[in-house]
Structure 1
């Protein structure tokens, strides 16, 4: 079986151009993957928008989120969830004795 590629086999091969630069494949640090995954978990944020913003695919972001939930990626201290201290102010409530009643609902005001 003979194959004819319609090009000369001996001699000049043509012009070869070498392009340098990024290959399209990015290597991200664990901190960067964690930051992107945490950003995608914020309320009202779309995963596709976060992925597009950071030049990643949705599937990468979903994978990083899964790893974050499973504890394979750890949030840095600066991004760890913070809780506000609860302070009870009794000064504005008049002091009176009331019998506990099932019909009186508890009232909590968060400022």
Structure 2
């Protein structure tokens, strides 16, 4: 096997002098080339509800920044919908019955202002109550 083969070569020693030892390392060089389909599967897994990008990355021997980059590239090419965080979502508002039909529950109310005591056992809203209190204070 010559040095011009497609294997990684590691020289142990000075490159200017003679080589003391030559080691040929076979296998991946540390940089992994992934197919488009493999990237798509990893991105899809990272988008599942409850998935954590760091855990998906660790599982597949990638970094979370790679996954974020793959997501961005898939979005740019229209293969993924726009980022969920950029689009606000609203829950629909449902009102049952007309607002006029709502009734304030009847309560017994007793307010003492000085020597004046105000009692009511019928429903009274905040605006009515405020007017009555102002009137009692003004009469004193």
Provide the TM-score with structure 2 as the length reference: 0.43
| Residue of structure 2 in register with 1:22 after alignment | 28
5+ residue gaps in structure 1? 1-6, 75-101, 105-111
| Residue of structure 2 in register with 1:56 after alignment | 62
| Residue of structure 2 in register with 1:13 after alignment | 19
| Residue of structure 2 in register with 1:66 after alignment | 72
Q: Partners in 1 of 2:16 and 2:77 — Cα distance?
A: 59
1:67-106 equivalence runs, <5 A: 67-71=73-77, 73=79, 103=97
Q: Partners in 2 of 1:32 and 1:16 — Cα distance?
A: 36
| Residue of structure 2 in register with 1:90 after alignment | none
Provide the TM-score with structure 1 as the length reference: 0.54
Higher RCO (Cα < 8 Å, 6 or more apart): 1
Kindly indicate whether residue 35 of structure 2 is the aligned counterpart of residue 35 of structure 1.
no
Higher helix share: 2
Compared CA separation, residues 72 and 20, structure 1 to 2 (3 A): farther
1:34–1:73: 8 Å Cα contact kept in structure 2? Answer: no
- Aligned residue pair count: 71
Q: What SS is found at the alignment partner of 2:21?
A: coil
Alignment RMSD (CA, Å): 2.9
| Residue of structure 1 in register with 2:105 after alignment | none
Q: Partners in 2 of 1:10 and 1:39 — Cα distance?
A: 50
